[in-house]
């Protein structure tokens, strides 16, 4: 038998907007979203109703600063994309934003491709990337525009 939960009146944050809405969840999946107080939402029946008035409703936590498999000081971070994102999911985090490392002498593209290879097919949650620039030069600066088009929207200069 399915279980239904209704979250009423929260500020729902989606990828496209923020809106006062009611959220209907069935068996741990969002099945409907409607404006708070609408005729549609008023007709919904649920086993459990949560009042989210004055609260944010997001589809899970976002960890915007992770270091999966990151090299540092002659060693590597202990979490792989598989182990780190499994732990994140168990804790309620549904998205991570990991730091991509450009190696000195390599292009930003090479660094990004290497991180995609580590993450693709190995993640239990959604992910995005920040980019660490280890070798800033005219070529890497020109690459930044293309990477922004691909979703890399933050860059950090790291020398040493």
**Residue carrying structure tokens 């994102």:** 85
**What is this structure's pTM?**
0.68
**4-57 classified as CATH 2.30.40.10:** yes
pLDDT in tens, the chain (160 residues): 789 999 999 999 877 889 999 999 999 788 999 999 898 888 999 999 999 999 999 878 889 999 999 988 889 999 999 999 999 998 889 899 999 999 999 999 999 999 999 999 999 999 999 999 999 999 999 999 999 999 998 999 876 5
* Domain boundaries, given as residue ranges, for the chain: 4-57, 61-157
Strand residues in the chain grouped as ranges (E): 4-13, 18-26, 29-35, 48-51, 56-57, 61-66, 71-72, 75-76, 93-101, 126-133, 155-157
The reported pLDDT for the residue numbered 92 is 84
């Amino acid at each position: 038998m399915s279980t239904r939960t209704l979250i009423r009146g929260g500020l729902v944050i989606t990828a496209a907007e923020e809106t006062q809405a009611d959220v209907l969840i069935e068996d741990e999946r969002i099945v409907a979203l409607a404006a708070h107080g609408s005729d549609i939402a008023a007709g919904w029946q649920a086993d459990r109703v949560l009042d989210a008035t004055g609260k944010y409703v997001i589809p899970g936590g976002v960890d915007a600063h992770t270091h999966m498999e990151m090299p540092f000081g002659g060693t590597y971070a202990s979490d792989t994309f598989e182990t780190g994102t499994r732990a994140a999911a168990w804790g309620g985090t549904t998205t991570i934003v990991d730091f991509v490392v450009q190696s000195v002498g390599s292009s930003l593209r090479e660094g990004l491709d290497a991180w995609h290879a580590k993450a693709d097919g190995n993640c239990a949650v959604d992910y995005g990337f920040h980019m660490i620039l280890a070798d800033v030069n005219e070529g890497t600066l020109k690459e930044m525009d293309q990477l922004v088009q691909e979703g890399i929207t933050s860059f950090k200069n790291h020398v040493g």
